């Protein structure tokens, strides 16, 4: 059962509006059976009133296309009636919100959710700055047009929207007068004169108006972009973290509007409104309230210092400066934008690095852990057909092939063909399979083991995790399985091959347990952790050095002494071509080697 605004938005983003049924209209939720009729002035007033009331009340959600039923003096979301896509213009809704509400609330989302016949429209209003009051023109009644010399203040009260009483407006104005003083007639005249002298040719808003400390900078950038189709301002400038932004009209009617964006240290950019919206939507899945704080702002491919534009027909945008780090948005042939991180490396290990190791002490573990922070992953599950498909694929998987090659290189055929469930739990939210290769007589126990694990989010682990391991369980059993005189220590090229195969299995094969992951969006950057660990203590209780089981000579010398663990984390999209994965693996291993003291390691030597 959904209980709050965040979970309701997650359900809509997951295209599951049915999950909202049973909720009650509240301070943050309003349901409407039919769409706003925007050809009617009263309906436009209602739209502005509803949105600004949520903006004044800490944020909220309007869902259009769901009928309600009365229950104990409350309205309960009862059934989906759906909305005809031809009857709603999402872009018109966005424009009317900007035009009718002062100031225009930031971060408002207008979108579709649900499948054919059950599609609803939602308007999401995030929490706004606490010191901002949002106003609209007062209702005009049966006759006349919107007044521009006075305003009204909508507020959300329980499950209803009301006008702020005159007494409370008077108290707010009085508080402002007490804080700043009553403006004199002379001061008001000067403000009007200044506004008229600095306004644009149409007597409207100025470029940079609203951010006095950055107005000159914004006007200079606007001047550099003359001739690019930028029209007059559509609203006041606003600060968005480190950026200064302002909505601009297009010079030609019918063309998409612009957003002028200035970030310190990079050239100014004018972004076509549909592309800007795609950037904001991509960061919307992050847990925080500010999408751009997560995804960052557009950056040029080459920093020439010259202001530039991102037109509406752009199909790729680089972004940086947010908590997600550098990334790239690309637009598919179907017009769907998707963010992916640009590859980078670190040695920071996540909380899932030690998952699925309880009760195990292998001599050597070669591990790949892929963290998949999909938005809306709480609604996913592993079905029986998907599990059966994986079981048929595992004997032919990349990791199974890598295990077989380890023995084949040593003149012995030990195929990883028989996979069994376990040793960890299998359910609608987790999967675990292993293939064990024993010594010739089995007396020494397992020699080699390959395993895969997959887990959907839990209360302890909020991210989808896919893992693939190759273990040398017992060095003596491994030697006996190979036969006398065979080299048991792995070459570093073999380690690379195993890690590459384990990575491919965890990143490409295991995510298929939830269907096609290509349509899922990220709530954080995906990462892959590569690990080599010795976990079987010697007689003195000390873990042995990796170089007893792996030939680390290609990494060069290490002045910091021997190690029982080497690890590296790759931030990159999990799905990629094999050649790209191989190249990225080598770069990551070089980064790992340098961080762990092998300063002479080079990709060409691996």
Give 53-87 as a DSSP string. Answer: HHHHTT-EEEEESEEEEEETTEEEEEEE----GGG
pLDDT at 197 over 50: no
Going by pLDDT thresholds of 50, 70 and 90, the confidence category of residue 185 is: low
Going by pLDDT thresholds of 50, 70 and 90, the confidence category of residue 313 is: very high
Q: Please report the pLDDT score of residue 189 as a whole number.
A: 46
pLDDT at 571 over 80: yes
Measured distance CA(368)–CA(366) in Å, rounded: 7
387, 510: one domain: yes
Of residues 167 and 102, the one with the higher pLDDT is 102
Contact criterion met (CB below 8 Å) for 161 and 51: no
Mean pLDDT of the region 505-533: 93
SS3 at position 218:
helix
Global pTM? Answer: 0.71
Q: How, if at all, do strands 269-272 and 308-310 pair? A: parallel
Contact criterion met (CB below 8 Å) for 395 and 418: yes
74, 141: one domain: yes
163, 214: one domain: no
115, 201: one domain: no
The predicted-structure confidence for 450-463, as pLDDT tens digits, reads as follows: 999 999 998 777 89
Mean pLDDT of the region 376-394: 93
The predicted-structure confidence for 53-77, as pLDDT tens digits, reads as follows: 999 888 999 999 999 999 888 899 9
pLDDT at 186 over 80: no
514, 599: one domain: yes
Domain boundary among 302, 324, 340: 340
CATH number, domain of 51, equals 3.30.950.30
SS3 at position 328:
strand
Going by pLDDT thresholds of 50, 70 and 90, the confidence category of residue 25 is: very high
Question: In Å, how far are 3, 8, 160, 162, 602 from 73, measured between CA atoms?
Answer: 19, 22, 12, 17, 72
**Which stretches of 426-491 are DSSP H helices?**
475-482
pLDDT at 341 over 80: yes
Going by pLDDT thresholds of 50, 70 and 90, the confidence category of residue 147 is: low
119, 216: one domain: no
Mean pLDDT of the region 492-502: 96
pLDDT at 350 over 50: yes
Q: Has residue 188 been placed in a domain?
A: no
Sheet holding 109-113, edge to edge: 29-32, 60-64, 120-125, 109-113
Of residues 605 and 161, the one with the higher pLDDT is 161
How many structural domains are present in the chain? 3
Q: Has residue 187 been placed in a domain?
A: no
Burial pattern 194-217, b for ≥16 Cβ within 10 A else e, equals eeeeeeeeeeebbbbbbbeebbee
Q: Please report the pLDDT score of residue 142 as a whole number.
A: 47
44, 59: one domain: yes
Domain limits at 219?
193-340
Mean pLDDT of the region 101-108: 85
223, 87: one domain: no
330, 452: one domain: no
363, 331: one domain: no
Closest CA to 166 of 148, 151, 183: 151
DSSP designation for 508: I
Domain boundary among 340, 370, 389: 340
pLDDT at 143 over 70: no
Written as one string, the DSSP assignment of 138-161 is PP-TTSS---SS--B-EEEETTEE
Going by pLDDT thresholds of 50, 70 and 90, the confidence category of residue 390 is: very high
Mean pLDDT of the region 520-527: 93
284, 367: one domain: no
Q: Has residue 158 been placed in a domain?
A: yes
Going by pLDDT thresholds of 50, 70 and 90, the confidence category of residue 204 is: low
The predicted-structure confidence for 159-181, as pLDDT tens digits, reads as follows: 777 777 767 776 776 776 676 66
Instruction: Share the mean pLDDT of the chain.
Output: 87
Mean pLDDT of the region 313-326: 95
Q: Please report the pLDDT score of residue 586 as a whole number.
A: 95
Measured distance CA(102)–CA(151) in Å, rounded: 9
Q: Has residue 205 been placed in a domain?
A: yes
Sign, CA torsion 127/130/132/135:
positive
350, 334: one domain: no
The predicted-structure confidence for 586-596, as pLDDT tens digits, reads as follows: 999 999 999 99
DSSP designation for 544: P
Mean pLDDT of the region 96-112: 86
Domain boundary among 153, 180, 207: 180
Question: In Å, how far are 28, 120, 379 from 23, measured between CA atoms?
Answer: 11, 16, 18
Q: Please report the pLDDT score of residue 226 as a whole number.
A: 80
């Amino acid at each position: 059962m959904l209980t709050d605004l965040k979970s309701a938005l997650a359900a809509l983003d997951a295209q599951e509006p049915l999950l909202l049924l049973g909720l009650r209209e509240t301070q943050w939720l309003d349901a409407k059976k039919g769409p706003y009729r925007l050809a009617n002035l009263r309906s436009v007033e209602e739209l502005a009133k509803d949105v600004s009331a949520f903006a004044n009340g800490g944020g909220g959600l309007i869902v259009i296309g769901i009928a309600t039923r009365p229950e104990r003096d409350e309205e309960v979301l009862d059934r989906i009636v759906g909305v005809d896509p031809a009857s709603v213009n999402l872009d018109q809704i966005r424009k009317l919100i900007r035009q009718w509400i002062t100031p225009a609330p930031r971060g408002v989302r207008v979108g579709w959710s649900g499948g054919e016949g059950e599609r609803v429209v939602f308007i999401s209003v995030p929490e706004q700055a606490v010191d901002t009051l949002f106003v609209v023109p007062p209702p005009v009644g049966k006759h006349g047009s919107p007044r521009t010399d006075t305003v009204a203040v909508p507020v959300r009260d329980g499950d209803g929207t009301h006008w702020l009483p005159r007494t409370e407006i008077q108290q707010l104005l009085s508080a402002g007068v007490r804080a700043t003083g009553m403006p004199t007639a002379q001061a008001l005249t000067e403000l009007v004169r200044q506004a008229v002298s600095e306004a644009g040719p149409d007597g409207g808003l100025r470029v940079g108006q609203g951010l006095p400390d950055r107005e000159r900078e914004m006007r200079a950038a606007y001047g550099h972009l003359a001739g690019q189709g930028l029209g007059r301002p559509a609203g006041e400038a606003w600060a968005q973290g480190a950026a200064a932004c302002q909505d601009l009209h297009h010079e030609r009617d019918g063309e998409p509007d612009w957003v002028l964006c200035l970030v310190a240290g990079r050239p100014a950019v004018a972004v076509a409104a549909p592309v800007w919206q795609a950037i904001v939507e991509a960061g919307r899945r992050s847990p925080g309230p500010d999408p751009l704080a997560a995804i960052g702002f557009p950056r040029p491919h080459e920093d020439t210092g010259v202001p530039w534009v991102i037109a509406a027909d752009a199909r790729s945008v680089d972004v940086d400066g947010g908590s997600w780090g550098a990334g790239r948005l690309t637009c598919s042939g179907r017009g769907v934008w998707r963010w992916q991180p640009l590859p980078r490396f670190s040695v920071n290990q996540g909380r899932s690095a030690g998952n699925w190791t309880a009760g195990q002490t292998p001599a050597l573990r070669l591990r790949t852990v892929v963290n998949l922070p999909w938005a809306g992953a709480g609604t996913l599950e592993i079905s029986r057909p998907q599990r059966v498909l994986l079981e048929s694929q595992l004997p032919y998987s990349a990791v199974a092939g890598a295990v077989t090659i380890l023995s084949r290189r040593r003149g012995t055929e030990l195929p990883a063909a028989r996979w069994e469930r376990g040793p960890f739990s299998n359910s609608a939210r987790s999967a675990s399979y292993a293939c064990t290769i024993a010594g010739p007589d089995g007396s020494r126990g397992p020699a080699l083991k390959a395993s895969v694990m997959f887990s959907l989010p839990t209360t302890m682990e909020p991210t989808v995790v896919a893992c693939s391991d190759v273990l040398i369980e017992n060095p003596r059993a491994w030697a006996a399985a190979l036969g006398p005189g065979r080299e048991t220590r792995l070459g570093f090229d073999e380690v690379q091959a195993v890690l590459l195969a384990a990575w491919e299995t965890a990143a490409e094969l295991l995510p298929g347990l939830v269907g096609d992951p290509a349509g899922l969006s990220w709530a954080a950057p995906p990462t892959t952790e590569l690990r080599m660990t010795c976990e079987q203590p010697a007689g003195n209780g000390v873990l042995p050095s990796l170089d007893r089981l792996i030939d680390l000579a290609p990494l060069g010398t290490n002045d910091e002494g021997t190690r029982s663990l080497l690890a590296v984390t790759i931030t990159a999209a999990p799905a990629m071509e094999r050649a790209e994965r191989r190249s990225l693996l080598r770069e990551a291993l070089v980064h790992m080697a340098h961080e762990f003291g092998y300063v002479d390691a080079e990709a060409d030597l691996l």
